[in-house]
Chains A and B, each alone.
Chain A
Amino acid sequence: MAISAEVSTTGDELTIAVAGRFDFSSHQEFRNAYEALDTTPARYRIDLREANYIDSSALGMLLLLRDYAGGDKAVVEIVNCTSDVRKILSISNFEQLFTIH
């Protein structure tokens, strides 16, 4: 399980990349990725290219991030989902809350 965070050069977008299993064990690391920032990004990108598994506690973590980023006003994109991950996200109808590519 590895999480890396990168702020865009313009400073307004934070990309969090998750690799391996995205589940409860990554809870603290995922939170740190956006809470430890000095800046407040306008947009968040969650890159799941390397994530091969996602469980319901990871869905909960995404909800926490969305809440942190402003709830209904938050701009959170989830990108590069594998088909398995995509399936989990769409069963829960998370496209109603996030922009998913």
Chain B
Amino acid sequence: MAETIRILVADDSEVDRLLLSTIVRKEGYEVQQAVDGFDALQMFETYRPQMVLLDAVMPGIDGFEVARRIKAQAGEEFVPIIFLTSLTEADELARCVEAGGDDFLSKPYNKVILKAKLNAMDRMREMHHTMQLQRDEITHHHAHLVQEQEAAKAVFDNVAHAGNLNVPFIKTLISPLAIFNGDVLLASRNPADEVYVLLGDFTGHGLTAAIGTMPLAEIFYGMTQKGFLPGEILREANRKLQGMLPKGYFCCAMLVAFNFHKGTVEFWNGGLPQGVLLRDGQKSLVHLDSKHLPLGIVGDDRFDATTQVVEMAPGDRLVMCTDGIIEARDKQGNQFGFEAFNRIVAGADPRVDIFERLKDAVYRHIGSSGREDDITLVEITMVLPEDLPPPANEQVAESVTGSEEWRLSYELRPRSLRAANPLPLLQHVLMEVPQLRSHAGSIYTVLAELYSNALEHGVLGLDSSLKSSANGFADYYRARALALEDLQGYVRFDFRCEIEAARGSLIITVEDSGPGFDFRSRLSELEHTSRLAYHGRGMRLLRSLCQSIEYRGKGNEVEVVFAWSEEDG
């Protein structure tokens, strides 16, 4: 049996009061009596009744005023008030309700009606109570959830939006729809000082969208820092996401890799709106279109990680966005659209910041409609290599006084040349030598240049002057992909390391199976080509990093000496 309901009966007529109290008590309620309005208010505080039967007309404080004060005092709690009245005028009865009465009961009392009304009021009171408990419970859960989400967001932000984003040449706008959003922006630098940026947009919003971010970020940061190529990172990310995300969930993504030494950007776009590359003070536009399925849809066998390379000179800018910006809606539900996006980007005055203009235009379009999607805008400006901020140098080589001398050979055969990128492995091995660690970036760059020369110009026999034509880069990489398919031959690395106290040198010899080239005339020709020509840059880069470069034999063998001393820092 539930608790007995406490009822207060307030009536200045003793006879009526006693009569009513008797009936109510017989119905199983607990009853207390108040003799007038003042008494009723006092009893309300001390007795805490759950229902009040209130005479409308009483001396002193009348029933209407008592009802108002009781309702005010009860606050959120529902205390039903039933007016007891001999009034029959419609507007008098209406006054009872206006004052806060929930029902009225006409004198003389009819037992059957009284009983029905008490039961009805009790049911309402019970329902109100239950609703309030549930509301409190929901409020509590919600607060708990928000708190958990905030903690998770802190973790999430560290993963999803960390990295190199605090460099001046990368500008971003990220507006979350909920606490979590489906957009992810990652940036990291590889050992050769290339900057990789990955912009992603997971299906949906909120937690489902955010959950895929963790493995994606882990793969991106881990593999970029180890020196893996964009295609290799994408393939791994696709494999992981496809295995992990439920069917129907995927991640539209664009990965761009900036090579500041060569002035190129390598890109892959799977499902994001086209990126726009602005060249020559915005006089020419190149669209980086989506050519691929988003990440996480098809298996490894059907996934296409082919990237494209385009030139990008210092000062050129790349603008990327997720579809939130295209689909941003105004009050009438009209989308911002591709046309507006392209118009603003294409028609921009070079003196006006495109990024700011887009941002303004999108926010003006959305207006106060309050509809907000995940809007992420990224603008990256190509800079000269010397303008790159110094990399965070987490590993400073300890001063080693001993001497060391060793040699390592590594030969790549056709299957390895086709399938794998040997650089991360070689870099990993070399970084086991403490003295080499503080030169990680330079060594990786040297390895990358030597390897691509040996593979592309040696084994595959591609001509780098192809790159200088208008569609050069595209043609070149198409030819490279074709040649890779049926390549024959080898690339052989030979490392000799000599360390003597604070000085040392790493001598790298690379030999390929190609026919070689006339390096004497080629080197003199190089002296006469401009610094900005797109081919021949690799050679200049090698020269700037190495103490010496020497071609041998028919030109299919090259030896470089990378030397350091501790004083170089």
Contact = CB atoms under 8 A, between A and B. Distances in A.
Interface of A: 24, 55-57, 59-61, 63-64, 67, 72, 87-88, 91-94, 96-97
Nearest to A96: B293
A24 B338 contact: no
Contacts of A88: 323
B203 A91 contact: no
Contacts of B290: 91-93
B552 interface: no
B292 interface: yes
Given A56-B204, A56-B323, A57-B203, A92 B252 contact: yes
Contact of A87 (B291, B294, B298, B338): B338
Q: Identify the 5 closest CB pairs spanning chains A and B, nearest first.
A: A60-B248, A92-B271, A64-B248, A56-B203, A63-B248
B69 to A, nearest CB: 48
Interface string B6-27: 0000000000000000000000
Nearest to B209: A56
A60 B292 contact: no
B249 interface: yes
A88 B327 CA distance: 11
Contacts of B298: 96-97
B520 interface: no
A93 B270 CA distance: 8
28 contacts: A55-B327, A56-B201, A56-B203, A56-B252, A56-B323, A57-B248, A59-B250, A60-B203, A60-B249, A60-B250, A63-B247, A63-B248, A63-B250, A64-B247, A64-B248, A91-B271, A91-B272, A92-B252, A92-B270, A92-B271, A92-B294, A93-B290, A93-B292, A93-B293, A93-B294, A96-B298, A97-B297, A97-B298
Contacts of B297: 63, 97
Nearest to B289: A91
Given A56-B323, A93-B270, A93-B271, 11 more contacts: A57-B204, A60-B249, A67-B247, A67-B248, A92-B270, A92-B293, A93-B290, A93-B291, A93-B293, A93-B294, A96-B298
A67 B299 CA distance: 13
A31 B271 CA distance: 24
Nearest to A87: B338
Nearest to A24: B204
Nearest to B373: A55
Nearest to A90: B290
B363 to A, nearest CB: 21
Contacts of A67: 247-248
Nearest to B252: A92
A16 B327 CA distance: 25
Contacts of A87: 338
Contacts of A93: 270-271, 290-294
A6 B219 CA distance: 45
Contacts of A97: 293, 297-298
A59 B204 CA distance: 11
Contacts of A24: 204
Contacts of A61: 248
Given A92-B252, A93-B291, A93-B293, A59 B203 contact: yes
